[in-house]
Amino acid sequence: MNPYVSAQIALLVEGLRLLETYVTAPQALHADIRMMRESLPFPSAQELSRDEATLLRQRHVELTDDQPALALDAVQAVRATATTLSSLQEHPDAAIDTSWFRRARLVLHRAEQQAGADVRTFMTRHVTGIYVIVDPEATQGRPVAEVARATLAGGARVIQLRDKLNDKRVVLEQAKVVTEMCDEHDALFFMNDDADVAQASNAHGLHIGQTDLPTEESRKVLDQRQLIGRSNNGLGQALESHAQGVDYIAVGAIYATSTMGKSGRTALGPEAITEVKQAVPRPIVAIGGIGGSNIVDVVEAGADCVCVVSAVTFADDPEAATRELVRLFESASG
C-alpha cells in the first residue's frame, strides 16, 4: 500500500476509535461513529478484542482531564483526514465508497455539535465570582487594558469588553490584549455584541443582548469552543435564551442603574435571580446596580456570578474595589 495513503487510513481509524471513547452520549451518535469505523474496508478498522478495547480506552482516558476538548480536536482531525482520503478516491489503496464520505459528513457534524456543547459546559464552571464589564465610556479616562489588568489582579473571574466608540480595528487590538490577560489569570474573556471580533480575538465567548445578532447566527460565526451569554429582563426572556442554547443567562437590571444608558430599565430585584435560577439549568449572572452594599443579597438569591461596571471601573483603585467585591461574594457564597 502507498505509504501516504496507509498513514491517512491509520489516522482515520485511530481518530474514530478516539471518538468512540469520548463521544459516548447520545447513544445513537456513539453507535453511528462505531458504524463509520466498522464499515471501512480495512482490517485495522475491525472490532478489537475485549482486552484490546479496554486497554485502548484506558490509554485514551489518560491523555487529559479535559476530555470534551480532546473529543472536539478528534472530530476536526477525522474530518481533515476524511477530506484528504476523499480526494484520493481514484487511488486503488484508498477504496472507500463515496456513500461512506457522505454519511461521515453528517455524523461528524453531529459529533462536532455534541463535543462543542460538552466543551462549553466544561468551561461554564468558570462563570463564577466577579464579572467586570470594561467600557472606554466608563473607565474615568483610563485605558481599557489598564482597568482590565487591575480587575484581574483583584480577583475578577470574567471580563467583558464593551466598546461602542472605536472602530473594529482598534476594538480587535484591545480584545486580543484582554484575551491574553485573561488567559494568564485563568479567567474568561467575553466580547460584547461583535461575534466577528470575538472569533478573531480568540475570546472565550460572546455576550449578546435581546436585539443583537441572534444566538443561532452568532454560533455560526464562533468557534465551537466559544461561549455565548445573553442578557435577559426576567424569566420569560431567560427561558427563551435557554431554548436557544446559550451558555449562561444574564439577568437584570437587578437594581436601578444609569450605567451605559440603562436608566430606563425597570429594576427586577434579587427575587428575579431566584426565579430564573430555579427554572434554568445554566449559570446565572446577575447584573445592574450591584455593588458592595447589595452584592450579598444577590449572591444569597442564587447568582452564580455577579456582573459589575461602575462599582469597579469608576473606582479610584479598581484592583482594591474588585478585591473587596470578591471578598463579599466568597463570604456570601460560603
Tens digits of per-residue pLDDT, 46-96?
988 888 888 888 888 887 778 888 899 999 999 999 999 998 877 777 678
The residue-averaged pLDDT of 214-239 equals: 95
pLDDT digits (tens, 9 = 90+) for 250-285: 999 999 987 755 556 689 999 999 999 999 999 999
Confidence of residue 194 (pLDDT cuts 50, 70, 90): very high
pLDDT at 144: 96
Show the 3-state SS of 240-288.
Answer: HHHHHCCCEEEECCCCCCCHHHCCCCCCCCCHHHHHHHHHCCCCEEEEC
Higher per-residue confidence, 227 vs 61? 227
Of 302, 290, 289, 208, residue with least CA distance to 246? 208
pLDDT at 52: 84
Whether omega before 195 lies within 30 degrees of 0, making that bond cis, reads: no
**What average pLDDT does the structure give for the chain?**
93
Confidence of residue 291 (pLDDT cuts 50, 70, 90): very high
Q: Could you give the domains of the chain?
A: 3-122 (no CATH), 127-333 (3.20.20.70)
Does residue 41 contact residue 88 with C-beta atoms inside 8 Å? no
The alpha-helical segments, DSSP class H, found in the chain are 3-22, 27-38, 50-61, 67-86, 98-123, 144-153, 168-184, 195-200, 215-221, 235-244, 271-279, 295-300, 310-313, 318-333
Its sign, for the CA torsion 133, 138, 144, 150, is: negative
